[in-house]
Amino acid sequence: MPKTMLTVATRKGTFIVESDDRRDWKLRGPYCEGWPCYHAIYDPTTGEIYTAAASEWHGTTVWRSADLGETWEMSSEGLTYGDEDGRKVSKASTLARAGDRLLVGVEAPGIFESRDNGRTWSLLSTLSGQHGSEEWDDPANQPPGHLGISGFVTDPGDADRFFAIVQGVGAFETEDGGSSWTPRNKGLRRDWPADYEDVGFCVHKLVRSAEPQRMYQQNHVGMHRSDDAGQSWNEITEGLPGDFGFAAAAHPHDKETFYVIPVDGGHGRTMHDGKAAVWRTRDGGSSWQDLRKGLPQENAHLGVLRQAMTIDKHDTPGVYFGTSTGQVFASADEGETWSEIASYLPSISSVDVVVLD
């Protein structure tokens, strides 16, 4: 079996967890000099690992490793709004590969691109001109967490087409590589007043399924599904223990199968009733099944953030999630059974997985 490798970003550096058989796992790290890391991804285009990080002392940067984590370099060259703009880059929150560009989402909300694989950066877009953009540019108006651009969803068939999520505002899609943007929030629920019809939604996680037209979304208020590549959304929360959560992952081979981790929507934002569970649908959200075997069912007040669940591409996919209390749980059988493969890590921000041939 080829090696399965997890890149785990934590508040105190990035770690690697890897296995040749998805039973015995080995942990390496911490890397990135213990910086607070928000998203660590393996990039199949270059074979490099990239980590978005931001130190309270030394600012925002993107780390990269060309040897699967053994050595690291960093660069923030160009990762700035400049001295005259007034906005500051305070955090790099999320990364994605789109064709020959590496994208990083930052706060204040903006997208920077690198065309030399993380060596230098330039501003791609702040989504200026969208409804509410002047308000969200004000740091005082940005929601807790201060992620800015909190996620991307790329299109495997078209590098110029991708989604970006503005935290606390909604999802936007570009079809021209970031020059123009369209809100993609039609049909989403919101339980609060808003100034605009098309923005003012709290999109936590956006995921494309095995079939590109089918997408899923964990929202601040509900799970949603799209059958037209994000043009419109329908709620599929019924059957889940709550409507709030962050993490979500789609099965790589079956568009109807999708995983989510509901958490309490109050201040706690941990799994319901202190019992850990991943919930799965096999019918596109018509019904949900809780998956608990091997997960702690007593006094387990675990939080899982939006980039902290992922799924591999094996024929029988493995599902993985990392917690705010530093555990990584894995399932090699599509969520039926779970085991704890790393413990006592710092608070986990993201988990990404790759199968290395």
Partner 1 sequence: MADLRLPGTLTPLFPGLTRHVEVEAANVLGAIDELEQRWPGLRDRLVAEGPSLRSHIHVYVDGERAGLDTPVEERSRLDVIAAISGG
The least CB distance from residue 67 to partner 1, in Å, is 17
Q: What type of residue is 98?
A: A
Is 61 an interacting residue with respect to partner 1 (CB under 8 A)? Answer: yes
CA atoms of 78 and 120, how far apart (whole Å): 6
Pairing of strands 101-107, 215-219: unpaired
Instruction: Using the minimum distance from each CB to partner 1, give the nearer residue, 81 or 196.
Output: 81
CA atoms of 23 and 333, how far apart (whole Å): 11
**143 secondary structure, DSSP code:** P
Q: Report the residue from 28, 46, 59, 194 that binds partner 1 according to the rule CB under 8 A.
A: 59
Instruction: Using the minimum distance from each CB to partner 1, give the nearer residue, 63 or 288.
Output: 63
Instruction: Using the minimum distance from each CB to partner 1, give the nearer residue, 40 or 89.
Output: 89
Is 58 an interacting residue with respect to partner 1 (CB under 8 A)? Answer: yes
Q: Output the CA torsion 347→19→29→51 (10° steps).
A: -70
Q: Report the residue from 89, 92, 164, 188 that binds partner 1 according to the rule CB under 8 A.
A: 89
Binders of partner 1 in range 69-88 (CB under 8 A): 74-77, 79-83, 85, 87-88
Rg (alpha carbons) of the chain, rounded to whole number: 19
The least CB distance from residue 344 to partner 1, in Å, is 17
Is 33 an interacting residue with respect to partner 1 (CB under 8 A)? Answer: yes
Is 347 an interacting residue with respect to partner 1 (CB under 8 A)? Answer: no
Is 284 an interacting residue with respect to partner 1 (CB under 8 A)? Answer: no
The least CB distance from residue 53 to partner 1, in Å, is 11
Instruction: Using the minimum distance from each CB to partner 1, give the nearer residue, 87 or 306.
Output: 87
Burial class (CB in 10 A: 0-12, 13-18, 19+), 138: exposed
Half-sphere exposure of 51 (CA within 13 A, CB side): 36
For residue 105, give the nearest of 155, 158, 41 by alpha carbon.
41
End-to-end CA distance of the chain: 9
The least CB distance from residue 80 to partner 1, in Å, is 6
* Partners of residue 17 on adjacent β-strands: 6, 27
Instruction: Using the minimum distance from each CB to partner 1, give the nearer residue, 119 or 189.
Output: 119
Is 57 an interacting residue with respect to partner 1 (CB under 8 A)? Answer: yes
Check the CA dihedral 205-266-321-315 and report its sign: negative
Question: Can you give the binding site for partner 1, defined by CB under 8 A?
Answer: 33, 55-59, 61, 74-77, 79-83, 85, 87-89
